[in-house]
Structure 1
Amino acid sequence: MKKILLIILILFGAHLSFSQVKNQSSFPVAIKKAKSSKKIVCVYLGVPQKPNFKYKSAFYNKDVAKYYNKNFVNYYYAAGDTSALSFILKYKITNMPTCVFIDHTGELIFKGSVGNNTSDHYLDMAKQALRRKANGLTLANYETKFNNEKHSEKLLKEYINLRIESGQFNNADLIDEYIDYKTIGDFKDPEEALFILKAAPYAFGKAYNLVYTYGIRVDSMFLQLPLSERITINNSIISNTLNEAIRTKNLNMAQNAMNYTRNTWGKNYEEGSKQSQLKILTYYKAVKDSANFYSLAPYLFDSYMRVSADSIKVPENIERSRIEKMLKDQATERIKEKKTTQKTSEGTTMIVSSIVTIGPSQYSSIPSLLNNAAWDYFTLGTRNKNHLSKAILWVKRAIDLKPMPQYYDTLAQIFYRMEFYDEALLNQKKAIEMAIQQNITDNELKSLKLTEQKIKDRTL
């Protein structure tokens, strides 16, 4: 059984009726037209609409529409269009409304930002995209330069910025190379310090330590960033550090990732401890250090066994209400700009909104955590009856909390390894029955049935 992946859900609202901008009938048509016309494709993604809130984007103002129709091949993703999800994931879209500018090959040229809902904002984005194309400021061009030209401070900074903009945050080695060009005094520049942090250096590594040793008010500057950006930076630092620790089998580096994870939870010491333990367990599993994995795992996952079904269901309802409220608030929040804001007229309205991603919450992820822990015990290859019995307890609790076909599949395969063949077959049948009820994909159902046949044939 493969691990359960938490699926990102993108919530869209009602269909918008657009005018002025000449949008193509489909994304493939837009790409084809861009190739023949040698123009950039502009993909517009708007905010979710609510019955009590209709948002009129300045993207469709006449001056903006005229400029975009002249210079770009335009396309928008309608609300509910399932293909929008793959586009959003590919180009790492985190905020809406915005424009994404790509060439006919799909290469990112420029990704716009959430900003003032004014013509100037959308015209500025368009001009930046055109300048980048004219000057060759694209990630593909810079990858060629990076691989073929002598490295310099300027090249590295521009390359890293383009990677960050495109959603590539594994830049720890690049930023370590970049700081070799810097002096101690450079780290006192707030913009320079933030750039280094945004590149997601290794936790407590060379670049990270230099910034925090010689930088000024680094923490206060970091806290001024939007929450979503801080989360992205922290997650990227943790991911880069842990991946490198696994690649080099460096336990000290893995412990750095563990400690950094704990620190990101601030005063929530309990959750910080749990999340940091998950990181070190990920390391032990990846490097196949089964002794340490089996030693530590019970302390963490047994702590989740005390969670009741009610404590899972109630927070899920609260979380759903919170997400719905966030959609409404973020789509309707208008912030009157201060007079100090540049290039805006009095009364200009700025819409602040973002895509809502529903990920693992502290509560709803517990069944998945327990199931995955049991599956990890199984895949690490243990035949120790005590270990397998512990895994059975975890997955049974996951089923109690939230029955899923994949959990029954995990239970069946563990029973099979323990040579409880009747129990294995019984639970695999339950997995298949539930999977059919839930209309899972044909490939997943085929995999469950194949496992069932192997259990019958004693060939699993």
Structure 2
Amino acid sequence: MKKITLLSFIIFNAQLSFSQIKFQKSLPDAVKQASSTKKSICIHITIPVYAKDTKSIIDQADVSSFYNKNFINYKVEMMDSVGRELINKYGVTVFPASVFIDYKQNLIFKTSTGDNTENVLNNGKTALTRKNTGIMLSTYEEKYANEKHSAKLIKNYINLRMEAGIFDNAKLIDEYVDYKTIGELNDPNEIIFILRSGAYAFGKAFNINGLNKTKTDSVFMTLPLQERIDINDRVINNTQNEAIRTKNIAMAQAAMNFTRNTWSDNYNEGSKQSQLKILNYYKAVKDTANYYPQTSYFVDQYYMRVNADSIRFQDPSILGKMQSKVPTFNQPSPSNANIPDLLNNAAWDFYILGTRNKLYLSKAFLWVKRAIDLKQNFQYYDTLAQIFYRMEFYDEALINQNKSINMAIEVGTSTNIIESLKSTGQKIKDRKL
């Protein structure tokens, strides 16, 4: 009888062992195993242990058996340093996540792990199908580089890029519309595809979509609010980034005009946000002849006029009502609580762009001084000190830098930052800043 009991205990333990996924100790180990076995890798990005536990799902016998058989597995917590690197690399936004890659670390498929056995198994099966059929971003990158282009090729390529979190597809979508007729592009699914791709504002694909503006607007408004916001952001960001890359003022103005339009009847906010776009362009391309005077006007107009009470007191109920009035396809504007930071940043931008014009340095001084009046922050005193130094008020510069250092120590700032502040202080003292 005892022998039978012992045997049952051994069998139970064998089954328990078999019901667990075998994880590699590190990603390099997983890559090495995948290279030798020709299997794909599944990176299981888990949520912290104090959150909802999903280990019971992947530890179920049928799940673990499937993943051990078909994948090399590696597990990392989302808050771990390696986990954060992988999240950034593969654009993971939903957790816990399953990220499937090949041994070259090319993305095959990424998805939420799922909350039941069927989801987890289907994720793995989808990844296997993707790899076997070549529906991978890396494969389509090669196809696009080496094969004759077609609407199908470009559409699949764009979809895989978007799935991987890559939304800079404006040039691709401009090429895509060349392969389609106007009638085909009038289809609601095609309209949504073009919208999601992030076309350049007032570029080829954007304008073709706008040929039937009433229908495009109607289709756009069927999308969820957050997706409409994301689409507008893609259009603006892609247009502005290309404008900066090519130093194309016309594209910068297109991004500016599109930004204004997204605010619909909220003209004041639309004007403010659109001006910010053109100022960011001037700063990025170092067009200081336009940047300094236009920023001076903008900061004085929108930030210096805000009263202290609106910054220091934010009634949640009032703020909630205000935000509820924001147009349904727009990003809400920064709250007044951000004004001190914006003033400091504007002053710092003037400084780092290298101006020695006393008028502009005086503007920067007034902005950061206003920021300090509104909120005490060691970084503001650091900015003020360096502006004083540029204006050749060396004693005032050193006094304010010491204030910055003492305040940083008082609030428990990191050693590296404190040492950097001290280094700046020494340079001020030695007149070598």
TM-score normalised by the shorter chain: which range applies? 0.7 to 0.9
**1:241 matched to 2:263:** no
Match of 2:273 in 1: 275
Tell me: higher relative CO, structure 1 or 2? Use CA pairs within 8 A at least 6 residues apart.
1
Match 1:425 to one of 382, 395, 398: 398
Is contact 1:92–1:167 with CA below 8 Å preserved after alignment?
A: yes
Counterpart amino acid of residue 99 in structure 1: S
Match 1:378 to one of 336, 344, 351: 351
Q: CA RMSD in A?
A: 3.3
Match of 1:362 in 2: 335
Match 1:124 to one of 98, 122, 125: 122
**CA distance 1:365–1:28, change in 2 (3 Å):** farther
Partner Cα separation in structure 1 for residue 290 and residue 65 of structure 2: 64
Match 1:452 to one of 402, 425, 431: 425
Match of 1:325 in 2: none
Match of 1:15 in 2: none
**CA distance 1:160–1:437, change in 2 (3 Å):** farther
Partner Cα separation in structure 1 for residue 215 and residue 291 of structure 2: 39
Match of 2:217 in 1: 219
TM normalised by structure 1 equals: 0.76
Match of 1:77 in 2: 76
Deviations 1:96-136 (A, max 9, x none): 3432212233321112258x744333333222211222233
**Equivalent residues in 2 for 1:56-455, closer than 5 Å:** 59=58, 61-78=60-77, 80-112=79-111, 117-214=115-212, 217-302=215-300, 303-307=302-306, 311-312=310-311, 315=314, 361-437=334-410, 440=413, 444-455=417-428
TM normalised by structure 2 equals: 0.81
Partner Cα separation in structure 2 for residue 241 and residue 133 of structure 1: 33
Q: SS at the partner of 2:72?
A: strand
Is contact 1:187–1:214 with CA below 8 Å preserved after alignment?
A: no
Is contact 1:193–1:215 with CA below 8 Å preserved after alignment?
A: no
Is contact 2:48–2:79 with CA below 8 Å preserved after alignment?
A: no
Q: Which runs of no fewer than 5 residues in structure 2 stay unpaired? A: 1-18, 321-331
Partner Cα separation in structure 1 for residue 68 and residue 167 of structure 2: 33
Aligned length: 403
Counterpart amino acid of residue 390 in structure 1: K
Partner Cα separation in structure 1 for residue 43 and residue 383 of structure 2: 42
**CA distance 1:35–1:425, change in 2 (3 Å):** farther
Percent identity of paired positions between Structure 1 and Structure 2 = 57
Q: SS at the partner of 1:288?
A: coil
Q: Report the CA distance between 1:64 and its aligned residue.
A: 3.2
Larger radius of gyration: 2
Partner Cα separation in structure 2 for residue 106 and residue 406 of structure 1: 40
**CA distance 1:187–1:60, change in 2 (3 Å):** farther
Name whichever structure is richer in helix by fraction. 2
**CA distance 1:145–1:70, change in 2 (3 Å):** same
Bigger mean CA offset, 449-458 vs 167-176: 449-458
Is contact 1:34–1:73 with CA below 8 Å preserved after alignment?
A: yes
Q: SS at the partner of 2:109?
A: strand
Deviations 1:123-152 (A, max 9, x none): 332222112222333222322332233322
Partner Cα separation in structure 2 for residue 213 and residue 382 of structure 1: 46
Counterpart amino acid of residue 218 in structure 1: T
Q: SS at the partner of 1:167?
A: coil
**CA distance 1:26–1:312, change in 2 (3 Å):** farther
